Amino acid sequence: MRQKLVAGNWKMHGSQQMVKHLLEKMLSQQAPSAKLLVFPPYPYLSQAIQLLAKSEIGIGAQDCSQADEGAYTGEVSAKMLADLGVSHVLLGHSERRQYHAETDALVLEKAKRVLAADLIPVVCVGETLAQREAGETNKVVLQQLTPLIEKLTLAQLQKVVVAYEPVWAIGTGLTATPEQAQEVHAFLRSVVAKVDKELAAKMLFLYGGSMKPDNAASLLKMPDIDGGLIGGASLDADQFLAIGKAAE
């Protein structure tokens, strides 16, 4: 049985005051049985780590460098994130792919750094609307997943979490139907099963794309949807926790 994981991607939102308010509110309420994880912007990671020190809520970074260390002004390494105390790193989010031209090869290099730092990469895959309309969804997500499957060892793959995020559903209010999402999740799991059946049975596949309290339960009850990657709704403690409860 895979424990559900509900992760909140705060993107470039927040302030110290907002982080305090949001996390204190989350802590004041009963925790769901699903594992919760938040991805604050870099400047607030330390603050979040302190505030969540005694809780079960995990903390991740939204990205990291593909380099180990050195003359890479503005970059943050996986090693530094491990040193700080985060547990997860989000990689290949569609906004990184779109605004920073991140390729599948780059995402693979970053995943290797994250794994070398003993952190868990949460790797996003997903098609655009044009790709879905052209019937290319499986082809696109396969292309995004393949470098990881081909280049990482089985031991490394065991630590990877995959988030299926149809680009057309992120921040748009449009959500994949539970059936559409399930179909892609089942396909992704079948791809992993070709490498190793046991790995496929254990791997977590999260759905992301306008998941809200009112649509979460129907998505999260699908057999291959192991949790959610939540953007907008993760900035509201009540909504985020309601999604966590919907995962139970």
210 near ligand PEP (CB under 6 A): yes
Structure tokens at 132: 């879905």
Instruction: Report if residue 230 touches ligand PEP, rule: CB under 6 A.
Output: yes
Q: Should residue 43 be labelled a site residue for ligand PEP when binding is judged by CB under 6 A?
A: no
* 165 scored as a contact of ligand PEP (CB under 6 A): yes
Member of 38, 82, 108, 170 binding ligand PEP (CB under 6 A):
170
- Rounded to whole angstroms, how far apart are CA atoms 219 and 208? 10
Find the shortest distance in angstroms from Cβ 155 to ligand PEP: 27
Q: Which of 231, 241, 244, 246 binds ligand PEP (CB under 6 A)?
A: 231
198 tagged catalytic = no
Q: How far is CA 81 from CA 60, 85, 113, in A?
A: 9, 6, 11
Q: For residues 178 and 171, is the Cβ–Cβ distance under 8 A?
A: no
The string of DSSP letters for 39-87 reads E--GGGHHHHHHHTTTSS-EEEES---SSSSSS-TT---HHHHHHHT--
Which CB atom, from 158 or from 180, has the smaller least distance to ligand PEP?
180
Q: Smallest distance from the beta carbon of 70 to ligand PEP, in angstroms? A: 30
Q: Which residues of the shown chain bind ligand PEP in the complex (CB under 6 A)? A: 9, 11, 165, 170-171, 208-211, 229-233
